Chain A
Amino acid sequence: MFKFFAIPAHDRRLIPEGRLSGPMPWVIAIMIFLTVLAAAAGLAMTRATSDVSDQLSSRATVQIIEANPELRGRQAEAAAERLRTLPLIEEVRLLPPEEIQALIEPWLGTQDLAEEIPLPALIDLKLAHVATDAEYQSLRNTLQPIAPGARVEPSSGYIAPVISLVRSFQWIAFGLVALLALATGAAVIISARSALNTHTETIAVVHLLGGTDQQISRLFQRRIALDALLGGLIGLVGGTAIIWLISTQLTALGSGLVQSVGLDWWSWLIIAAIPILGMFLAMVTARLTVIGALRKIL
Chain B
Amino acid sequence: MKDEIVRFENVGLRYGAGAETLADLNFTLYPGSFYFLTGASGAGKTSLLKLLYLSQRPSRGVIRLFGEDAVTMPRERLPGFRRRIGVVFQDFRLVPHLSAFDNIALPLRVAGVREKDLETPVTEMLEWVGLGDRASARPATLSGGEQQRVAIARAVIGRPEILVADEPTGNVDPDMAIRLLQLFEALNTLGTTIVVATHDIHLLSKIPGAQMMRLEKGMLADPTGSLRFPPLPKDQLQ
A residues sitting closer than 8 Å to B (CB atoms) are 8, 10-11, 13-14, 16, 201-202, 204-212, 215, 295, 298
Give the distance to chain A from B178, nearest Cβ to Cβ, in Å. Answer: 27
B residues sitting closer than 8 Å to A (CB atoms) are 53-57, 75-76, 78-83, 87, 93-95, 97-98, 102, 105-107, 109-111, 115, 154
| Across-interface contacts of A202 in B (CB, < 8 A) | 95
B56 touches A298 (CB 8 A): yes
B98 touches A14 (CB 8 A): yes
| Across-interface contacts of B110 in A (CB, < 8 A) | 206, 209-211, 215
State whether A208 and B55 are in contact (beta carbons under 8 Å apart), knowing that A10-B109, A14-B98 are contacts in the complex: yes
B93 touches A201 (CB 8 A): yes
Give complex CA distance A167, B82 in Å. 59
Give complex CA distance A209, B93 in Å. 11
| Across-interface contacts of A201 in B (CB, < 8 A) | 93, 95
Partner of A13, one of B76, B87, B98: B98
Give the distance to chain B from A235, nearest Cβ to Cβ, in Å. Answer: 30
A209 touches B107 (CB 8 A): yes
Q: Pick 20 A–B contacts, CB within 8 A, sort by A.
A: A8-B109, A10-B105, A11-B109, A14-B95, A201-B95, A202-B95, A205-B93, A205-B94, A205-B95, A206-B110, A208-B54, A208-B55, A208-B82, A208-B87, A209-B87, A209-B107, A210-B83, A210-B110, A298-B54, A298-B78
Nearest neighbor of B78 in chain A, beta-carbon distance: A298
Give complex CA distance A135, B102 in Å. 82
Give the distance to chain B from A297, nearest Cβ to Cβ, in Å. Answer: 9
Nearest neighbor of B87 in chain A, beta-carbon distance: A208
Partner of B57, one of A208, A210, A298: A298
A210 touches B97 (CB 8 A): no
| Across-interface contacts of A205 in B (CB, < 8 A) | 93-95, 106
| Across-interface contacts of B79 in A (CB, < 8 A) | 207, 210-212
Nearest neighbor of B154 in chain A, beta-carbon distance: A209
| Across-interface contacts of B105 in A (CB, < 8 A) | 10
Give complex CA distance A84, B106 in Å. 86
State whether A13 and B97 are in contact (beta carbons under 8 Å apart), knowing that A206-B110, A215-B110, A298-B57 are contacts in the complex: yes
Given contacts A14-B95, A208-B55, A210-B82, 7 further A-B contacts (CB under 8 A): A10-B105, A11-B109, A13-B102, A14-B98, A210-B80, A210-B81, A212-B76
Give the distance to chain A from B203, nearest Cβ to Cβ, in Å. Answer: 24
| Across-interface contacts of A16 in B (CB, < 8 A) | 97
Give the distance to chain B from A269, nearest Cβ to Cβ, in Å. Answer: 39
Give complex CA distance A215, B112 in Å. 10
Give complex CA distance A181, B209 in Å. 65
Give complex CA distance A209, B84 in Å. 9
Give the distance to chain A from B84, nearest Cβ to Cβ, in Å. Answer: 8
Give the distance to chain A from B106, nearest Cβ to Cβ, in Å. Answer: 6
Give complex CA distance A127, B57 in Å. 79
Give complex CA distance A253, B107 in Å. 67
B55 touches A298 (CB 8 A): yes
Give complex CA distance A202, B93 in Å. 8
Ordered nearest first, which 9 A-B pairs have the shortest CB separation? A210-B83, A210-B82, A210-B79, A212-B79, A211-B110, A209-B107, A205-B93, A209-B110, A202-B95
Give the distance to chain A from B142, nearest Cβ to Cβ, in Å. Answer: 16
Give the distance to chain B from A14, nearest Cβ to Cβ, in Å. Answer: 7
Give complex CA distance A242, B54 in Å. 56
Give the distance to chain A from B172, nearest Cβ to Cβ, in Å. Answer: 21
| Across-interface contacts of B94 in A (CB, < 8 A) | 205
Nearest neighbor of B54 in chain A, beta-carbon distance: A298
